[in-house]
Amino acid sequence: MVEIKFRRFTLNQRIQHILFFVSFILLAYTGFPLKFPEEWWSRLMIESVGGFDNRTLIHHLSGLVMIGVSVYHVVFHILEKPRYDVLFNLKDLDDFKQQIKYYLRYSDEHPKFGRYSWKQKFEYFGAGFGAVIMGFTGLLMWQPFEAMKYFPIGFVQIANLFHTWEAVLASIAVFIGHFYDEHFDKFPNLSWLTGNIPEEELRHEHPLEYEEAMKNRVVPENIEHDKKDNILIVGFAKLIFTMIFAAICVWMLWISYNVLVEAIKTYIL
Protein backbone atom coordinates (compact mmCIF):
# COMPACT_ATOMS: atom_id res chain seq x y z
CA MET A 1 0.00 0.00 0.00
CA VAL A 2 1.37 3.36 -1.01
CA GLU A 3 0.86 6.34 1.20
CA ILE A 4 1.25 9.88 -0.08
CA LYS A 5 2.62 12.39 2.36
CA PHE A 6 2.29 16.12 2.11
CA ARG A 7 4.97 18.57 3.21
CA ARG A 8 3.60 20.45 6.23
CA PHE A 9 6.62 22.02 7.90
CA THR A 10 9.89 23.18 6.41
CA LEU A 11 13.21 22.18 7.93
CA ASN A 12 13.60 25.71 9.28
CA GLN A 13 10.21 25.50 11.03
CA ARG A 14 10.99 22.08 12.43
CA ILE A 15 14.31 23.25 13.87
CA GLN A 16 12.56 26.23 15.43
CA HIS A 17 9.94 23.95 16.94
CA ILE A 18 12.54 21.53 18.29
CA LEU A 19 14.65 24.30 19.83
CA PHE A 20 11.51 25.85 21.30
CA PHE A 21 10.14 22.68 22.87
CA VAL A 22 13.49 21.41 24.13
CA SER A 23 14.10 24.73 25.86
CA PHE A 24 10.48 24.77 27.07
CA ILE A 25 10.77 21.33 28.66
CA LEU A 26 14.14 22.18 30.23
CA LEU A 27 12.73 25.45 31.57
CA ALA A 28 9.74 23.70 33.12
CA TYR A 29 11.95 20.92 34.43
CA THR A 30 14.37 23.31 36.11
CA GLY A 31 11.81 25.98 36.96
CA PHE A 32 8.97 24.30 38.82
CA PRO A 33 11.23 22.68 41.44
CA LEU A 34 12.11 26.22 42.50
CA LYS A 35 8.45 27.04 43.10
CA PHE A 36 8.08 24.04 45.44
CA PRO A 37 11.61 23.63 46.83
CA GLU A 38 10.64 21.36 49.68
CA GLU A 39 8.77 18.70 47.71
CA TRP A 40 10.42 15.32 47.18
CA TRP A 41 10.12 15.49 43.39
CA SER A 42 11.67 18.92 43.41
CA ARG A 43 14.82 17.65 45.12
CA LEU A 44 14.89 14.62 42.82
CA MET A 45 14.69 16.82 39.75
CA ILE A 46 17.38 19.18 41.01
CA GLU A 47 19.63 16.24 41.87
CA SER A 48 19.11 14.82 38.39
CA VAL A 49 20.63 17.90 36.76
CA GLY A 50 23.53 17.94 39.20
CA GLY A 51 22.60 20.37 41.93
CA PHE A 52 21.06 23.77 42.38
CA ASP A 53 23.69 25.82 40.58
CA ASN A 54 23.45 23.60 37.51
CA ARG A 55 19.69 23.97 37.65
CA THR A 56 20.04 27.74 37.57
CA LEU A 57 22.57 27.58 34.72
CA ILE A 58 20.37 25.27 32.62
CA HIS A 59 17.35 27.47 33.27
CA HIS A 60 19.21 30.59 32.16
CA LEU A 61 20.70 28.98 29.06
CA SER A 62 17.37 27.45 28.01
CA GLY A 63 15.76 30.82 28.55
CA LEU A 64 18.30 32.39 26.20
CA VAL A 65 17.61 29.69 23.59
CA MET A 66 13.88 30.33 23.86
CA ILE A 67 14.34 34.09 23.54
CA GLY A 68 16.66 33.52 20.61
CA VAL A 69 14.19 31.28 18.78
CA SER A 70 11.34 33.70 19.44
CA VAL A 71 13.31 36.68 18.17
CA TYR A 72 14.47 34.69 15.14
CA HIS A 73 10.91 33.64 14.42
CA VAL A 74 9.57 37.18 14.55
CA VAL A 75 12.40 38.95 12.79
CA PHE A 76 13.34 36.53 10.02
CA HIS A 77 10.49 34.12 9.58
CA ILE A 78 7.55 36.47 9.67
CA LEU A 79 9.21 39.40 7.92
CA GLU A 80 10.72 37.33 5.14
CA LYS A 81 7.73 35.18 4.35
CA PRO A 82 4.61 36.34 6.12
CA ARG A 83 1.76 33.88 6.44
CA TYR A 84 -1.75 35.14 6.92
CA ASP A 85 -3.47 31.78 7.31
CA VAL A 86 -2.35 31.65 10.95
CA LEU A 87 -4.23 34.83 11.87
CA PHE A 88 -7.63 34.60 13.49
CA ASN A 89 -10.68 35.24 11.34
CA LEU A 90 -14.45 34.98 11.66
CA LYS A 91 -14.42 31.43 10.35
CA ASP A 92 -12.61 30.36 13.51
CA LEU A 93 -15.53 31.58 15.59
CA ASP A 94 -17.94 29.58 13.42
CA ASP A 95 -15.62 26.57 13.60
CA PHE A 96 -15.56 26.82 17.38
CA LYS A 97 -19.35 27.03 17.60
CA GLN A 98 -19.67 24.15 15.16
CA GLN A 99 -17.16 22.08 17.13
CA ILE A 100 -19.08 22.56 20.37
CA LYS A 101 -22.33 21.71 18.57
CA TYR A 102 -20.69 18.59 17.19
CA TYR A 103 -19.33 17.62 20.60
CA LEU A 104 -22.70 18.14 22.27
CA ARG A 105 -24.41 16.25 19.45
CA TYR A 106 -26.51 19.12 18.22
CA SER A 107 -24.91 18.64 14.83
CA ASP A 108 -23.25 15.84 12.91
CA GLU A 109 -20.99 18.13 10.93
CA HIS A 110 -17.46 18.41 12.21
CA PRO A 111 -16.06 21.84 11.33
CA LYS A 112 -13.74 21.82 8.33
CA PHE A 113 -10.40 23.32 9.18
CA GLY A 114 -7.95 25.01 6.88
CA ARG A 115 -4.22 24.79 7.39
CA TYR A 116 -4.60 25.69 11.05
CA SER A 117 -7.57 24.99 13.30
CA TRP A 118 -8.79 27.60 15.76
CA LYS A 119 -7.15 25.65 18.58
CA GLN A 120 -3.80 25.56 16.80
CA LYS A 121 -3.99 29.31 16.25
CA PHE A 122 -4.66 29.77 19.96
CA GLU A 123 -1.64 27.66 20.78
CA TYR A 124 0.55 29.58 18.35
CA PHE A 125 -0.35 32.99 19.74
CA GLY A 126 -0.38 31.65 23.29
CA ALA A 127 3.17 30.43 22.84
CA GLY A 128 4.12 33.76 21.30
CA PHE A 129 2.69 35.94 24.07
CA GLY A 130 3.94 33.46 26.66
CA ALA A 131 7.47 33.66 25.30
CA VAL A 132 7.35 37.46 25.38
CA ILE A 133 6.11 37.57 28.99
CA MET A 134 8.47 34.84 30.18
CA GLY A 135 11.42 36.33 28.34
CA PHE A 136 11.05 39.85 29.69
CA THR A 137 10.17 38.87 33.26
CA GLY A 138 12.89 36.23 33.24
CA LEU A 139 15.53 38.74 32.20
CA LEU A 140 14.39 41.12 34.96
CA MET A 141 14.71 38.33 37.51
CA TRP A 142 18.03 37.14 36.17
CA GLN A 143 19.70 40.53 36.64
CA PRO A 144 17.53 42.27 39.25
CA PHE A 145 20.15 44.90 40.01
CA GLU A 146 20.62 45.79 36.37
CA ALA A 147 16.83 45.98 36.13
CA MET A 148 16.64 48.23 39.18
CA LYS A 149 18.77 50.81 37.42
CA TYR A 150 15.75 51.46 35.22
CA PHE A 151 12.73 50.15 37.15
CA PRO A 152 11.66 50.25 40.80
CA ILE A 153 12.03 47.02 42.75
CA GLY A 154 8.27 46.55 42.51
CA PHE A 155 8.67 45.74 38.84
CA VAL A 156 11.08 42.92 39.66
CA GLN A 157 8.65 41.50 42.20
CA ILE A 158 5.74 41.77 39.78
CA ALA A 159 7.95 40.14 37.14
CA ASN A 160 8.50 37.27 39.57
CA LEU A 161 4.76 36.93 39.98
CA PHE A 162 4.06 37.01 36.24
CA HIS A 163 6.82 34.48 35.64
CA THR A 164 5.29 31.87 37.93
CA TRP A 165 1.71 32.36 36.78
CA GLU A 166 2.55 32.46 33.11
CA ALA A 167 4.68 29.33 33.55
CA VAL A 168 1.73 27.45 35.02
CA LEU A 169 -0.57 28.76 32.31
CA ALA A 170 1.80 27.86 29.49
CA SER A 171 2.60 24.44 30.93
CA ILE A 172 -1.07 23.52 31.22
CA ALA A 173 -1.59 24.61 27.61
CA VAL A 174 1.41 22.64 26.35
CA PHE A 175 1.62 19.60 28.62
CA ILE A 176 -2.11 18.94 28.75
CA GLY A 177 -3.74 20.69 25.76
CA HIS A 178 -1.08 20.54 23.07
CA PHE A 179 0.19 17.09 24.06
CA TYR A 180 -3.32 15.66 23.97
CA ASP A 181 -4.46 17.27 20.72
CA GLU A 182 -1.33 16.98 18.64
CA HIS A 183 0.57 14.02 20.00
CA PHE A 184 -1.80 11.75 21.91
CA ASP A 185 -4.92 12.03 19.77
CA LYS A 186 -2.96 11.88 16.50
CA PHE A 187 -0.34 9.37 17.71
CA PRO A 188 2.17 8.78 16.19
CA ASN A 189 2.23 12.31 14.83
CA LEU A 190 5.73 12.63 13.42
CA SER A 191 5.21 15.74 11.33
CA TRP A 192 7.25 17.73 13.85
CA LEU A 193 10.21 15.48 12.98
CA THR A 194 9.76 14.56 9.32
CA GLY A 195 7.79 17.61 8.27
CA ASN A 196 5.33 15.42 6.41
CA ILE A 197 1.67 14.71 7.02
CA PRO A 198 -0.02 11.62 5.53
CA GLU A 199 -2.67 12.27 2.90
CA GLU A 200 -5.38 10.61 4.95
CA GLU A 201 -4.58 12.70 8.01
CA LEU A 202 -4.47 15.92 6.01
CA ARG A 203 -7.86 15.15 4.48
CA HIS A 204 -9.29 14.38 7.90
CA GLU A 205 -7.74 17.16 10.00
CA HIS A 206 -7.33 19.96 7.48
CA PRO A 207 -9.91 19.23 4.75
CA LEU A 208 -9.94 22.77 3.35
CA GLU A 209 -6.18 22.80 2.93
CA TYR A 210 -6.37 19.41 1.28
CA GLU A 211 -9.09 20.50 -1.11
CA GLU A 212 -7.16 23.64 -1.97
CA ALA A 213 -3.99 21.67 -2.60
CA MET A 214 -5.75 19.13 -4.82
CA LYS A 215 -7.74 21.79 -6.71
CA ASN A 216 -4.76 23.95 -7.51
CA ARG A 217 -2.53 20.96 -8.13
CA VAL A 218 0.15 22.67 -6.06
CA VAL A 219 0.82 19.55 -4.11
CA PRO A 220 4.27 20.33 -2.77
CA GLU A 221 6.79 17.50 -2.79
CA ASN A 222 4.51 14.52 -2.87
CA ILE A 223 6.59 11.86 -1.27
CA GLU A 224 5.58 8.27 -1.74
CA HIS A 225 6.70 5.43 0.38
CA ASP A 226 5.53 2.11 1.52
CA LYS A 227 3.49 2.11 4.64
CA LYS A 228 5.49 0.09 7.10
CA ASP A 229 4.00 1.08 10.44
CA ASN A 230 4.61 -1.82 12.74
CA ILE A 231 1.54 -2.02 14.91
CA LEU A 232 3.49 -3.56 17.79
CA ILE A 233 6.10 -0.83 17.88
CA VAL A 234 3.49 1.90 17.51
CA GLY A 235 1.34 0.32 20.21
CA PHE A 236 4.27 0.02 22.60
CA ALA A 237 5.36 3.59 21.86
CA LYS A 238 1.83 4.78 22.49
CA LEU A 239 1.75 2.94 25.81
CA ILE A 240 5.00 4.58 26.92
CA PHE A 241 3.82 7.97 25.70
CA THR A 242 0.49 7.57 27.51
CA MET A 243 2.23 6.79 30.77
CA ILE A 244 4.55 9.78 30.51
CA PHE A 245 1.64 11.96 29.42
CA ALA A 246 -0.49 10.81 32.36
CA ALA A 247 2.34 11.44 34.83
CA ILE A 248 2.92 14.93 33.43
CA CYS A 249 -0.83 15.64 33.59
CA VAL A 250 -0.97 14.61 37.25
CA TRP A 251 2.09 16.73 37.97
CA MET A 252 0.62 19.76 36.18
CA LEU A 253 -2.71 19.38 37.99
CA TRP A 254 -0.88 19.12 41.32
CA ILE A 255 1.09 22.27 40.53
CA SER A 256 -1.92 24.28 39.38
CA TYR A 257 -3.95 23.14 42.38
CA ASN A 258 -1.22 24.17 44.81
CA VAL A 259 -0.51 27.48 43.11
CA LEU A 260 -4.21 28.31 43.06
CA VAL A 261 -4.79 27.26 46.66
CA GLU A 262 -1.84 29.33 47.85
CA ALA A 263 -3.00 32.39 45.95
CA ILE A 264 -6.61 32.01 47.06
CA LYS A 265 -5.53 31.60 50.69
CA THR A 266 -3.36 34.70 50.50
CA TYR A 267 -5.58 37.02 48.50
CA ILE A 268 -9.17 35.95 48.76
CA LEU A 269 -9.57 34.32 52.19
Residues found near other proteins in the complex (CB under 8 A): 33-34, 37-38, 42-43, 46-47, 51-53, 100, 102-105, 108, 119, 144-145, 148-149, 151-155, 157-158, 160-162, 165-166, 168-169, 172-173, 176-177, 180, 185, 253, 256, 259-260, 263-264, 266-268
Q: Residue 265 Cβ, how far from other proteins at the closest point, in Å?
A: 11
Q: Residue 269 Cβ, how far from other proteins at the closest point, in Å?
A: 12
Q: Residue 195 Cβ, how far from other proteins at the closest point, in Å?
A: 26
Q: How far apart are CA 131 and CA 62, in angstroms?
A: 12
Query: Residue-wise over 20-40: b if at least 16 C-beta within 10 A, else e?
Result: bbebbebbbbbbbbebbeeee
* Residue nearer to other proteins on the CB measure, 71 or 246: 246
* Residue nearer to other proteins on the CB measure, 14 or 183: 183
Q: Residue 100 Cβ, how far from other proteins at the closest point, in Å?
A: 8
Q: Residue 172 Cβ, how far from other proteins at the closest point, in Å?
A: 6
* Residue nearer to other proteins on the CB measure, 9 or 151: 151
* Residue nearer to other proteins on the CB measure, 19 or 127: 127
* Residue nearer to other proteins on the CB measure, 7 or 101: 101
